[in-house]
Each structure stands twice: as C-alpha cells, then as structure tokens.
Structure 1
Amino acid sequence: MPKLPHSFKQTLSRAFCLSATAFCLSASSNAWALFADDDARKAILDLRKSLATTQMDLQNQIEKLKSENAELRGKVENLEKQGEDINTSQKTYYQDLDTRLGNFEPRTATIEGVSGTVQPGEKKAYDDALKAFQTGSLKKADEGFSAFATRYPKSPYLPLALFWSGNSKYANKDYAGAIAQLQSLIKRYPTHPRIPSAMLTLGNAQLESGNKVAAKKTFAEIISKYPDTEAAKDAQQLNAAIK
C-alpha cells in the first residue's frame, strides 16, 4: 500500500478532530437541552404541588372560619333568646308582684276612663262575678255584681259592675230589675264608654216588658247620640222592626 503524503495525513487528522469536536458539542448541547427540560418540568410540577397545597390550606381556613362564624351566630342567637326569656320572666315577675301587692294594699287604677282606689280583694271579687257571667251562671253573676256594688261603692270597677249586673238581670228575664240597674248606670256615668251598649240592653228590656214607646225612644236616642257605634246600627234595626 502506498504511503500517504504527510500533508494529507495532517489534513485528515484535522478533519477527524473537527468532526469529533462537532459531535461532542452536539451531544453536549442535546444533553443540556434535556437537562433544562427536566428542570423546567420539575419546577412546574413543584409549583403545581405548592399551589395545590396552598389552595387546600386556604379552603381549610375558609371552612374553619365558616364553622367558627356559624358557632358565633349560634351563640349570639342563644344570648338573644336568653335575653328575651329574661325580659319575659321579669315582666311576668313584676306583674305577679303587682297583683300580689294589690291583694294586700290599696292602689290607684283607671278602669275604662274611671279613676279611683282599688281595695285589696276588689279586683278578684269583680273578676269572679264576671267569670260567672261568662260561663252562663247568670244568677251567681248578678249576685256577685250586686254584692260588689254594695261593698265597693267608690270603685273604678263600679260602672262595669252595674253594666254586667244589668245584663245578667236581662239574661235572667228580670226586665224590671235590668231597667232599674241600667238607668242607674246611665244617670251616674253618662260619659262612660259602655253607655251605648247599656242603652241598647235597656231598650231591649223595655221592649221585652211590653213598653214599646219607651223602647223606641231609647233606640232613637242611641241613633242620635252615638251614630257611629255598633249599638246605633243594632238600635236602627230594632227600631225599624217595632210595629
């Protein structure tokens, strides 16, 4: 085999070195690129993991705050309920105390516009008679109201006692007694708010006792003096029905 010239050998050697160098650089570049991609990918995964952890922590904190807020709301509602219960209890206590004191000592009261001193036991006597009337024990009611009027002649409950006594007598068909009682009420307390109703019962008692003239006069007076009351409407119908 013939020997190559020295210059050719040098040229060939240089070409080989350049080729090897290029290969090495190319391989190094590819390895760096792969290394860089792995780092970026890892960084992205780490970031995602960190964000997921942070989001989870925030969600847990939100749920905890919601739970604490609900618990506080429950405590506030419970305190409000306790406050209402205390107010109701205090109100009941003072009402009960006032009632008990009223049973042992006189007190000033205004009943349907009539002021006066209520004696111990007075309110109970009135309430007992009224309860008897409401349950249909008319004779017992009349006796109770009559006894009340005798025992407490200056009571602020007296106009009501006379009013219910008159109605009890009327319901018991004691028309003469009802007329006398209601006329006494109307004369003594002409401005009392029960007067229109008292006059209506009076007119009915007069009508039932056969005194149509007196009944028509009473009904006409109700219509004239108290035109805007329910008693006036009833009186107008009753008056029109009288033959």
Structure 2
Amino acid sequence: MKKSQYLFKQTLSGAFCLSATLICLTLSSNAWALFSDDEARKAILDLRKSLATTQLELQNQIETLKTENAELRGKIENLEKQGEDLGSSQKTYYQDLDTRLGNFEPRTETIEGVTGTVQPGEKKAYDDALKAFQAGNLKKAEDAFSAFANKYPQSPYLPLVLYWSGNSKYANKNYAGAIAQLQALIKRYPNHPRIPAAMLTLGSSQLESGNKAAAKKTLNEIIAKYPDSDTAKDAHQLLATIK
C-alpha cells in the first residue's frame, strides 16, 4: 500500500470516528432533553393534582363552615325566640300579678279621662252592673249602678255609672229617674266624652215625659256645642219629630 493511500485511509477512519462520536453526543443530548421534558410534565401534573386536592379540601372546609354557620344562625334565632318568649311570659306574669294585687289593694287609674283611686272589687262591681244592662236585665242593672254610686262616690268609674244608669232608667221607661241621673252627670262632669250622648238621652227622656220645651232646648244645645258630631245629626232628626 502506498503511503498516500494509507494516510487517506487513516484520515477517513478518524473522520468516521469523530462523526460517530458527534452523533452519539447528539443522541445523548436529545435523550437528556427528552427526559427533562417528561420530568417537567410529571412535575406539572403532580402540581395540578396537588392543587386540585387542596382546592377540594378548601371547598370541603367552606361547605363545613357554611353548615356550621347555618347551625349557629339557627341556634342564635332559637335563643332570640326563647328570649322573646321569656320576655312575653314575664310581661304576662307581671300583668297578672298587677291584676291580682289590684284585687287586694287600692290603685290609681284613669278611666276615660277621669283619674282616681280604684278600690279592690270596684272594677268587678262596675263590670257586673254593665253586663246586667247589656243582657237586658234593666232592674238588676239599675240596682247595681245605684249600689255602686253609693259605695264608691269618688270612683273614676262614676261618670260611666251615671251614664249607664241614666240609659238603663230610660230603657225601663223611668224617664224622671233618667232625667235626674243624666243631669247629675252633665253638671258634675261637663267635659266628659260621654256628655253629648248623655244629652241626647236626656232630650229623649224629656220628650217622652211630655216636656217638649225642655227637649227642644237640650237638643238645640247639642247642635250648638257639637255641630259636626253624629250626636248633632241625631238631635236634628229628633227635633224634626217635635210638633
């Protein structure tokens, strides 16, 4: 073999080895790059999985907190309801206690604008008399109202007693008694809210008793003092019947 041929072969062999070495290195580099991508993907997947797990745990915690909050709200509402019930129960208790004490000791009350001391049993006596009148038991009502006026002459219920007593006598056709009773009410309590109605019954009693002049005077007084009231309208109608 010639020397030149030998050198050519050696050079070619070296170049081949170098090329092979470069190819191997390139393949090795690509493999490493491929491995790194897989690891990165795995890391990303693991991170996603971890985040999903954490999100699920947080969602579960939120749902748990919502449930506990709802339960707590229910307990608070229940406590508020119990507090309201307790307050109502206490109010009822003290009202009942106050009523019971009122049956045993005097107390100050205001009845339709009239203030005075109410004695034990006084309200019941008034209620019983009024019930008798409302039931149409006029004789019993008259006796009960008279007994009340005699027993409790300073009672704040007295204006009402005189008013209903006058109406009871009028309904029982005791016109003279009704006139006396209603005039006593008007004189003693001129500003009481029952006065207009009492005057109308008084005018009716005077008319029924045959005293037309007195009836006209009373009815015209109603119209003058209470011109816009329903009582004034009734007085006008009653006047129209007087010849």
Asked if Structure 1 and Structure 2 have the same fold, meaning a TM-score greater than 0.5 normalized by the shorter chain, the answer is yes
**Equivalent residue letter for 1:185:** L
After TM superposition, give the deviation of residue 160 of structure 1 in Å. 0.8
Distance in structure 2 (CA, Å) of the matches to 1:11 and 1:242:
157
1:42-66 per-position Cα deviation (integer Å, ceiling 9, x unaligned) = 1221222222222222222222222
Secondary structure (helix, strand or coil) at the match of 2:108 reads: strand
- Tell me which residue corresponds to 1:60: 60
Q: Does the C-alpha gap of structure 1 residues 47 and 230 become closer, same or farther in structure 2, counting only changes over 3 Å? A: farther
- Tell me which residue corresponds to 1:15: 15
Which segment is superposed worse, 183-192 or 75-84?
A: 75-84
1:60-90 per-position Cα deviation (integer Å, ceiling 9, x unaligned) = 2222222222222222222222222222222
- Tell me which residue corresponds to 1:196: 196
Distance in structure 2 (CA, Å) of the matches to 1:236 and 1:26:
126
1:99-153 per-position Cα deviation (integer Å, ceiling 9, x unaligned) = 2222122222222222222221111111222233344444433332222112211
Match runs of 1:152-231 below 5 Å: 152-231=152-231
Distance in structure 2 (CA, Å) of the matches to 1:121 and 1:43:
93
Which segment is superposed worse, 4-13 or 131-140?
A: 131-140
- Tell me which residue corresponds to 1:82: 82
Secondary structure (helix, strand or coil) at the match of 1:98 reads: helix
Q: Does the C-alpha gap of structure 1 residues 37 and 193 become closer, same or farther in structure 2, counting only changes over 3 Å? A: same
Match runs of 1:129-168 below 5 Å: 129-168=129-168
Q: Does the C-alpha gap of structure 1 residues 234 and 44 become closer, same or farther in structure 2, counting only changes over 3 Å? A: farther
Q: Does the C-alpha gap of structure 1 residues 205 and 77 become closer, same or farther in structure 2, counting only changes over 3 Å? A: farther
The percentage of counterpart residues that share the same residue type is 80
TM-score (norm 2): 0.85
After TM superposition, give the deviation of residue 40 of structure 1 in Å. 2.0
**Equivalent residue letter for 1:49:** K
Aligned length: 243
Match runs of 1:19-98 below 5 Å: 19-98=19-98
